[in-house]
């Protein structure tokens, strides 16, 4: 059995998985168990947040009425909950893949998980019963002025987000340590010699980091910087909460808040894409290796993810003007590594291949489409003349819902079904694939289109009660969201069926 597992993992993960040959079956099972804890936690949080999101859209449609204070509390929880859900699931997946690539201490991962769960609990307490409702990327001095919630709720929320940041930072340190140890320090992990001394590198019989190791390295480095920013603004706000005479500069706070929020949200897809590197070659029956283009692309991502956040401050005309230019340029440039290397390579792998279209591969491939479409929406919004009309309209949730829901989540579901298909040794029936595909993608498209149409019409985001044509659009968007969730419920039933049926696949 042990050999079967090792052989199968080697086959599944395609690219040279040094260490997999020596990974003991118990360690492999333990790593899988840990991975499933993270992924299941992320998906469970997602499910709750999705139901919450539907009630918010129904409120905007005028179908139900629970008032603005409840709406903004739910909006706050929905925002921070969804980002955390996507991050936790993606972190679990990439941790597992790196575990196959080298040693990783599970206790460290458990500590990271513990901090994140503690943070989630603190955030939930701040909202139920604390009624905190300042939005998750609130802009100072908001939580402290005009609050309709108890002061302790502000402290609980800040503490919760900081605990999540600590857990996230622990994970980043572990990932960075893993890739550095595995590939010879930062120089090896970044593929420096592979790029600049390729001949000597190749002649020495060395291998560059796997594609998923690049995703881990960039997520870890950017994640540490993001986590540090989150801690800095968190501590500053906590100090102000304890002693209101300590003032914070609002423009500085806005920069740090968006640096943290934008990069954290953005990194979820760069973590989840590691599953695409594994899944697409497997389903297409073709191998995929690190190339120099891929290494350079990830260097670009490393920088552009950090610089693109300036587009959140386009409408702050007092911001140093050069930063506005950098914001637009970095936003455009951040698209290049994605569409020129990662997505292009995936399309190349799929083109005229023996692609097996199962639920797993359908989710992964559609996730690539969602990533591109969300990226187009983001690029238009990042163009300052358009941003002038789209900033803080529903166009903003339009594009980030597209790449979080239509990208990150679908990558996660694709990975989950890939593992389940491997377990049962068979794919879902064509009927199930059609039902899930029609409901999930049809409903999702309708739901997302509602945001785009309303955003282009100037309907503001974060309004409990929207001006026209908001409520009308919200009505059919809500129907779309419900259809999508019904499709996801069918997918969940199918996943449970596969998870509880007798293992027959290679891992049996």
Partner 1 sequence: MARGPLVLPLFLILAALAMAVMIGIALSTRASTLELSAVQGRAYALRRWWLTGLVVVFATLFAITIPSFPYLEASELSTARHIPVMAEQYAFPVPAVLPVNTPIVFDVTAKDVNHGFGIYDPENRILAQVQAMPNYVNHLAVEFKQRGKYTVRCLEFCGVGHAYMQAAFEVR
Asked if residues 394 and 459 have their Cβ atoms less than 8 Å apart, the reply is yes
Work out whether 145 is an interface residue with partner 1 (CB under 8 A): yes
In angstroms, the CA 56 to CA 482 distance is 12
Work out whether 309 is an interface residue with partner 1 (CB under 8 A): no
Nearer to partner 1, 28 or 444 (CB): 444
Q: Binding residue for partner 1 (CB under 8 A) from 4, 30, 65, 148?
A: 148
Work out whether 320 is an interface residue with partner 1 (CB under 8 A): no
Segment near partner 1 (CB under 8 A), from 4-12, 23-31, 303-311, 326-334?
A: 326-334
Work out whether 205 is an interface residue with partner 1 (CB under 8 A): no
Shortest CB 495 distance to partner 1, Å: 23
Cβ count within 10 A of residue 484: 23
Closest CA to 169 of 236, 263, 100, 254: 263
Work out whether 457 is an interface residue with partner 1 (CB under 8 A): yes
Work out whether 418 is an interface residue with partner 1 (CB under 8 A): no
In terms of C-beta density within 10 A (0-12 exposed, 13-18 middle, 19 or more buried), how is residue 496 classed?
A: exposed
In angstroms, the CA 351 to CA 348 distance is 5
Q: What is the DSSP string of 133-153?
A: -S-TT--TTGGGSS--S-HHH
In angstroms, the CA 467 to CA 43 distance is 33
Work out whether 414 is an interface residue with partner 1 (CB under 8 A): no
Work out whether 142 is an interface residue with partner 1 (CB under 8 A): yes
Residue labelled with tokens 């947040």: 49
Q: Please, what is the end-to-end C-alpha distance for the chain in angstroms?
A: 8
Cis upstream peptide for 68 (omega within 30°)? no
Cβ count within 10 A of residue 24: 11
Q: Binding residue for partner 1 (CB under 8 A) from 369, 482, 489, 499?
A: 369
Residue 28 token pair: 């492999």
Cross-strand bridge partners of residue 460: 393
Nearer to partner 1, 47 or 139 (CB): 139
Q: What is the DSSP string of 165-224?
A: HHHHHHHHHHHHHHHHHHHTHHHHHTTHHHHHTHHHHHHTT--PPPHHHHHHHHHHHHHH
Task: List all residues 6 or more positions away from 260 whose beta carbon is below 8 Å from its beta carbon.
Answer: 226, 229, 230, 233
Q: Binding residue for partner 1 (CB under 8 A) from 66, 299, 303, 386?
A: 386
Name residues contacting partner 1, limited to 54-93 (CB under 8 A).
68-69, 72
Segment near partner 1 (CB under 8 A), from 227-235, 368-376, 419-427, 492-500?
A: 368-376
Segment near partner 1 (CB under 8 A), from 150-158, 205-213, 351-359, 421-429?
A: 351-359
| Angle (CA) 232 234 236, round 5° | 70
Shortest CB 390 distance to partner 1, Å: 6
Q: Binding residue for partner 1 (CB under 8 A) from 52, 117, 150, 348?
A: 348
Site string for partner 1, 229-258 (x = CB under 8 A): --------------------xxx--x----
Q: Binding residue for partner 1 (CB under 8 A) from 198, 202, 388, 429?
A: 388
Shortest CB 269 distance to partner 1, Å: 16
Segment near partner 1 (CB under 8 A), from 49-57, 97-105, 145-153, 415-423?
A: 145-153
Residue labelled with tokens 């497997």: 282
Closest CA to 418 of 485, 359, 342: 359
Q: How many CA atoms are closer than 13 Å to the CA of 338, on its beta-carbon side?
A: 28
Work out whether 456 is an interface residue with partner 1 (CB under 8 A): yes
Asked if residues 422 and 505 have their Cβ atoms less than 8 Å apart, the reply is yes
Nearer to partner 1, 100 or 134 (CB): 134
Segment near partner 1 (CB under 8 A), from 40-48, 96-104, 327-335, 484-492?
A: 327-335
Q: Binding residue for partner 1 (CB under 8 A) from 182, 262, 391, 401?
A: 391
Q: Binding residue for partner 1 (CB under 8 A) from 82, 453, 484, 488?
A: 453
Three state DSSP letters for 76-115: HHHHHHHHHHHHHHHHHHHHHHHHHHCCCCHHHHHHHHHH
Work out whether 405 is an interface residue with partner 1 (CB under 8 A): no
Q: Binding residue for partner 1 (CB under 8 A) from 463, 476, 486, 499?
A: 463
Nearer to partner 1, 36 or 303 (CB): 303
Nearer to partner 1, 128 or 351 (CB): 351
Work out whether 150 is an interface residue with partner 1 (CB under 8 A): no
Q: Binding residue for partner 1 (CB under 8 A) from 117, 350, 489, 490?
A: 350
């Amino acid at each position: 059995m042990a050999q079967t597992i090792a052989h199968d993992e080697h086959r599944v993960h395609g690219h040279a998985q040094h260490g997999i040959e020596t990974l003991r079956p118990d360690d492999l099972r333990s790593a899988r168990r840990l991975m499933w804890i993270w992924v299941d936690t992320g998906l469970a949080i997602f499910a709750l947040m999705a139901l919450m999101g539907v009630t918010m859209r129904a409120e905007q449609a005028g179908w139900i009425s629970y008032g603005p204070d409840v709406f903004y509390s739910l909006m706050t929880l929905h925002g921070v909950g969804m980002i955390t859900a996507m991050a936790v699931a993606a972190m679990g997946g990439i941790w597992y893949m790196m575990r196959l690539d080298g040693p990783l201490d599970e206790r460290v991962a458990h500590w990271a998980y513990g901090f994140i769960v503690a943070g989630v609990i603190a955030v939930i307490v701040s909202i139920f019963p604390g009624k905190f409702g300042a939005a998750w990327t609130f802009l100072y001095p908001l939580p402290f002025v005009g609050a309709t919630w108890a002061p302790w709720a502000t402290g609980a929320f800040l503490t919760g987000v900081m605990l999540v940041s600590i857990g996230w930072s622990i994970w980043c340190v572990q990932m960075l340590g893993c890739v550095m140890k595995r590939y010879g320090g930062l120089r090896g992990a970044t593929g420096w010699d592979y790029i600049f001394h390729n001949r000597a590198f190749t002649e020495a019989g060395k291998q560059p980091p796997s594609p998923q190791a690049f995703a881990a390295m960039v997520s870890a480095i950017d994640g540490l910087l993001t986590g540090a920013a989150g801690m800095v603004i968190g501590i500053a706000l906590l100090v102000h909460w304890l002693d209101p005479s300590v003032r914070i500069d609002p423009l500085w706070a806005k920069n740090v808040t968006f640096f943290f929020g934008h990069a954290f949200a953005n990194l979820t897809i760069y973590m989840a894409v590691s599953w695409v590197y594994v899944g697409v070659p497997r389903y297409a029956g073709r191998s995929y290796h690190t190339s120099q283009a891929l290494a350079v692309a990830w260097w670009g991502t490393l920088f552009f993810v950090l610089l693109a956040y300036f587009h959140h401050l386009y409408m702050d005309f007092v911001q140093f003007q050069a930063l506005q230019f950098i914001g637009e340029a970095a936003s455009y440039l951040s698209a290049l590594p994605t569409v020129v290397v990662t997505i292009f390579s995936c399309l190349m792998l799929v083109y005229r291949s023996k692609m097996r279209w199962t639920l797993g591969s359908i989710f992964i491939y559609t996730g690539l489409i969602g990533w591109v479409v969300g990226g187009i929406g983001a690029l238009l919004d990042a163009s300052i003349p358009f941003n002038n009309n789209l900033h803080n309209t529903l166009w903003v949730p339009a594009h980030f819902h597209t790449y979080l829901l239509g990208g990150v989540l679908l990558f996660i579901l694709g990975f989950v079904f890939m593992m389940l298909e491997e377990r049962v040794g068979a794919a879902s029936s064509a009927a199930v694939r059609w039902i899930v595909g029609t409901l999930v993608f049809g409903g999702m498209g309708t739901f997302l289109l509602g945001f785009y149409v309303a955003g282009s019409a100037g309907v503001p985001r974060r309004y409990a009660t929207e001006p026209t044509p908001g409520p009308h659009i919200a009505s059919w968007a809500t129907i779309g969201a419900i259809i999508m969730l019904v499709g996801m419920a069918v997918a969940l039933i199918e996943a449970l069926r596969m998870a509880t049926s007798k293992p027959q696949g290679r891992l049996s």
